[in-house]
Amino acid sequence: MTTKEPRVEDFDLLDRTAGSARKRLFIGLIIGASALVCSLLLLLWVIPYIGLTSIHPSAPWILGIVLAALVGLVGWAALGLVLNILLGRSLPLTRRLRGLTIKLFLPLMVLLGKVLGISKQRVRSSFIKVNNELVLSEAGRYQPEDILLLMPHCLQNSRCEMRLTYDINNCKRCGKCPLKELLEISERYGVHLAIATGGTIARRIVVQTRPRLIIAVACERDLSSGIQDTFPLPVFGVMNLRPHGPCLDTGVPMHELEQALQRFLLDPPAPRVLPMAANPVPNP
């Protein structure tokens, strides 16, 4: 699939979810995390240097070469990601190394942020912001059956007794939660729609539907962990709305969700005209 330069309208999709400050935060933390990894790798060479000579005179240098290669790999992955964020271009092999960046660096970034007094939510939010920009710049357009809308179970009205996790069509469409409108959007655009109660169910849904792109709505914690779990499958994250606090009767910014569908679908229908009241701004 050919890489496409992101369009101005594509990045309008990100204005509500985060600003440039989150991008700068991510770049700073990714550089700090990669420097920490490289320092630990160097310590692995320095500490046993004297003891390794008793095994073989060349053992310290062999270990040094191996660790230097790992340092170079980590540094190249971090540099490639930073340049991709700033310039929209990838260095050779950096796309394949992004899994290392996603799975290894995010926990280190959270730890580093904690040391620096930066909340987990801010770190995860910056991670989702950067991930979305990368998905926008690299993902193409897909048939409706190749896109999955993955929703959290906390969207369902907390007083509803219907079981929707395994079959969302059990919904009675009473209008007391966002699921009625989500089902209408799913039918209008022809994309898959599913609800997950956790990571295990989400992975099962992904295996069953076999999408090429996921548009997921969740909180910062669930989105960041979902992006890690499904890599290299692209996930575009939309922050949920939490008028009653986390995990209780949450909402969906429908306008952002529909904008994402317009961006990623091969031949989307004309977007609906929604009143401003239907497009609330996500919680900061």
Output the pTM of the full model: 0.70
Q: What is the pLDDT of residues 211-248, one digit of tens each?
A: 999 999 998 888 888 888 888 788 999 999 998 888 88
More confident residue, 153 or 19: 153
pLDDT range class, residue 30, cuts 50, 70, 90: confident
Q: How far is CA 185 from CA 52, 97, 169, 206, 255, in A?
A: 64, 35, 13, 20, 11
> Average pLDDT for residues 154-177, to the nearest whole number?
83
Q: What is the pLDDT of residues 90-105, one digit of tens each?
A: 666 656 666 666 666 7
Q: Which pLDDT score is estimated for 71?
A: 79
Residues contacting 58, CB < 8 A, separation 6+: none
Domain boundaries, the chain: 8-135, 141-268
Considering the domain 141-268 in this protein, what is its CATH number? 3.40.50
Cα 206 to Cα 262: distance, rounded to the nearest angstrom: 21
Q: State the DSSP code for 217.
A: E
Per the CB < 8 A criterion, the answer to whether 170 and 160 are in contact is no
Q: What is the pLDDT of residues 59-82, one digit of tens each?
A: 777 777 877 887 777 777 777 667
pLDDT range class, residue 279, cuts 50, 70, 90: very low
